[in-house]
Homo-oligomer: A and B are copies of this chain.
Amino acid sequence: MGILMFRKIIAFSLCTLLSVQIAVAFDYLQPLPDEPIAPKDNPVTPEKADLGKRLFFDQRLSWNGDVSCNTCHQLAAGGDDGGAVTQLPGREIKRSAPSVWNVAYMSTYFWDARATSLESQVMEHLVDPNIMAMRHNTNVVKRLQAIPGYRELFKTAFGNDAITIDNIAQAIATFQRTLIVPDSRFDQFIKGNEAALNAKEKRGLQLFNDKGCLSCHFGTNFAGPAPGPALKMGDGFYELFPNYRGSLYEDKFDFVADLGRYHVTLNPEHKLMWRVPSLRNITDTAPYFHNGSVYDLHQAVRIMSEVQFNYPITDEEVDDIVAFLKTLTGKYPEITMPRLPDTPGVSLLP
Contacts and interface: CB of A to CB of B under 8 A. Distances in A.
Interface of A: 54, 57-60, 64-66, 71, 74-78, 81-84, 86-90, 282-284, 286-287, 295-298, 322, 325-326, 329, 332, 334-340, 342-349
Identical chains in the assembly = 2
Contacts of A71: 71
A49 to B, nearest CB: 16
Nearest to A91: B89
A59 to B, nearest CB: 6
B57 A82 contact: no
30 contacts: A54-B76, A59-B74, A59-B81, A59-B82, A64-B87, A65-B81, A66-B83, A76-B337, A76-B338, A76-B340, A77-B340, A78-B342, A82-B347, A84-B349, A87-B89, A87-B90, A89-B89, A283-B342, A283-B345, A284-B342, A284-B344, A286-B346, A287-B347, A297-B345, A297-B346, A298-B345, A322-B345, A332-B339, A334-B337, A335-B336
Given A58-B76, A77-B340, A286-B346, 10 more contacts: A59-B82, A60-B82, A64-B87, A65-B83, A76-B338, A284-B344, A286-B345, A287-B349, A296-B345, A336-B337
B332 A344 contact: no
Contacts of A84: 347, 349
Given A74-B59, A89-B89, A345 B83 contact: no
A157 to B, nearest CB: 18
A65 B292 CA distance: 13
B87 A347 contact: no
Contacts of A334: 336-337
A81 B60 CA distance: 9
Contacts of A77: 58-59, 339-340, 342
Contacts of A59: 74, 77, 81-82
Contacts of A65: 81-83
Nearest to A334: B336
Contact of A326 (B81, B296, B344, B347): B344
A54 B76 CA distance: 9
A76 B60 CA distance: 12
A126 B315 CA distance: 39
A329 B77 CA distance: 31
Contacts of A81: 59, 65-66
Contacts of A338: 76
B346 A296 contact: yes
Contact of A349 (B83, B298, B325, B344): B83
A326 B349 contact: no
Contacts of A78: 342
Given A64-B83, A81-B59, A89-B87, A75 B337 contact: yes
For A75, A77, A88, A282, the residue with the greatest tally of chain B CB atoms inside 10 Å of its CB is A77
Contacts of A88: 89
Contacts of A326: 344-345
Nearest to A338: B76
A81 B348 CA distance: 12
A345 B65 CA distance: 32
B83 A347 contact: yes
A57 B83 contact: no
Contacts of A339: 76-77, 332
